[in-house]
Each structure stands twice: as C-alpha cells, then as structure tokens.
C-alpha cells in the first residue's frame, strides 16, 4: 500500500487516531470506500461530477456499497448533475439512494458519520489515481456541512429526469445582480411583449 500520511494525532490509547492521508492506486481506493461503507452508522453522502455515475454503476464495488447501505438502513444520498448521458445510471442509483440534481456541480467526495474521502474528477475510462482520506472530526464536519448546503440547493432527481425525458424545462430561476444586465433583460422583455 502506497500511503503518505499528512497529519496524525493521538491523545490517548483509548481514543481512535485521527488521520488524513493520500492513498494511491485503484485497490487502495476500493478498500477505502468499503471501509467507509462498513463503518457508517447513519449516513453516506456522495457528491459526484456528472461523469461519475456512468463510471461507478457498472462497477461491482459501487453496487456492493449501495446494497450494504440499503441493507443496514443507512441514509444514502447522492448528488450529481443529471444529464441525457447519465440518466440511466442515475435511475439505477435511485433504486437504492435518494438522488438530487445540481446543475454544474464539479465535485467528487463522500462523507459519512465519521469519515471523508475525495478524488480528483476523473475521465470516464480512467481509474482513480489518488484518494484523499480523513477521519479528523473538524474536516468531516466541514464536509458534512458542505454537502448539506449543496443538497439544499439541488432539485429532486425525479423532477430533472422528467424535464429531460419530456424535453421541457419546468422552471428556471436566475439571480441577476448586475444593474446593466437587469436593465437589458427588462428592455428585452418589454420589446418582446
């Protein structure tokens, strides 16, 4: 195993060691994901780039991870950008997890009750080269907060899938803060009326 620890603390032999490290290679990445899934008690939250579902779903590892979460009554939430290209994979994930869509999301991390992991966004055919892992309480809490923030801004997968399949955008909200853009939009709207 090729591991490079970046921070380790231990205040007592009865307190688990908090650590952050970078793991290299596909096998280490698989083992880490299985570890996080097996140690989760209440939640597993994953935020992925839109290309990731099509990489993960065919993999037996990801199916085992999802099945384990479901069988142990762990709340599993999955956040990604749902597109025409990954819609079938997202439907498969929806059989096991609560899925939401967030337009333009460029992230790749997972956080459970006590652990966090992240990888660089990867191309569809490449394996995971490096994985960052941490069980440092403050880092895990920060990532849980980040996930909750993104989750609250996302829309349900069912709604986004319906939009894609029916070819209709049900609603779209834009926040425009630039006064010149607001004026131009208003002028265009008046002209089109």
Q: What is the pLDDT of residues 127-152, one digit of tens each?
A: 556 889 999 999 999 999 999 999 99
Range of the domain at 46: 3-192
Give the pLDDT band (50/70/90) at residue 23.
confident
Q: In the structure, how many helices (H) and strands (E) does the chain have?
A: 7, 9
Burial class (CB in 10 A: 0-12, 13-18, 19+), 5: exposed
Burial class (CB in 10 A: 0-12, 13-18, 19+), 42: exposed
Neighbouring residues of 177: CB distance < 8 A, sequence distance ≥ 6:
none
The whole-angstrom separation of Cα 64 and Cα 161 is 25
Mind listing the pLDDT tens digit for each residue in 101-126?
Answer: 999 988 888 899 999 998 876 554 45
The whole-angstrom separation of Cα 100 and Cα 35 is 25
Q: Do 19 and 5 touch, CB atoms closer than 8 A? A: yes
Sheet with 18-24, edge to edge strand ranges = 3-9, 18-24, 130-134, 116-118, 109-112, 43-47, 75-80, 98-101, 155-156
Closest CA relative to residue 106, chosen from 159, 49, 151 = 49
Query: Mean pLDDT over all residues of the chain?
Result: 78
Residues in the chain: 193
Determine the pLDDT at residue 2. Answer: 40
Residue 29: pLDDT over 90: no
Measured in whole angstroms, the distance separating CA 85 from the mean position of its chain's CA atoms is: 17
Residue 168's CATH number: 3.30.870.10
Mind listing the pLDDT tens digit for each residue in 74-93?
Answer: 888 999 999 998 898 888 88
Domains in the chain, number: 1
């Amino acid at each position: 195993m090729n591991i490079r620890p970046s921070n380790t603390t231990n205040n007592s032999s009865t307190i688990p060691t908090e650590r952050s490290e970078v793991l290299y290679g596909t096998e280490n990445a698989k083992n880490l994901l299985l570890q996080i899934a097996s140690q989760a008690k209440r939640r597993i939250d994953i935020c992925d780039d839109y290309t990731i579902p099509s990489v993960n779903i065919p993999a037996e590892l990801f199916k085992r991870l999802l099945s384990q979460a479901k069988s142990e009554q762990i709340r599993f939430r999955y956040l990604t950008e749902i597109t025409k290209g990954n819609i079938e994979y997202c439907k498969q994930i929806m059989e096991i997890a609560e899925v939401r869509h967030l337009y333009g999301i460029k992230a790749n991390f997972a956080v459970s009750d006590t652990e966090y992991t992240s990888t660089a966004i990867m191309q569809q055919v490449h394996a995971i080269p490096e994985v960052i892992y941490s069980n440092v309480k403050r880092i895990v809490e920060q990532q849980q907060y980040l996930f909750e923030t993104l989750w609250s801004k996302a829309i349900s997968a069912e709604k986004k899938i319906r939009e894609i399949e029916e070819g209709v955008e049900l609603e779209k909200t834009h926040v425009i803060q630039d006064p010149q853009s607001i004026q131009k939009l208003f002028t265009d709207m008046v002209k089109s009326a």
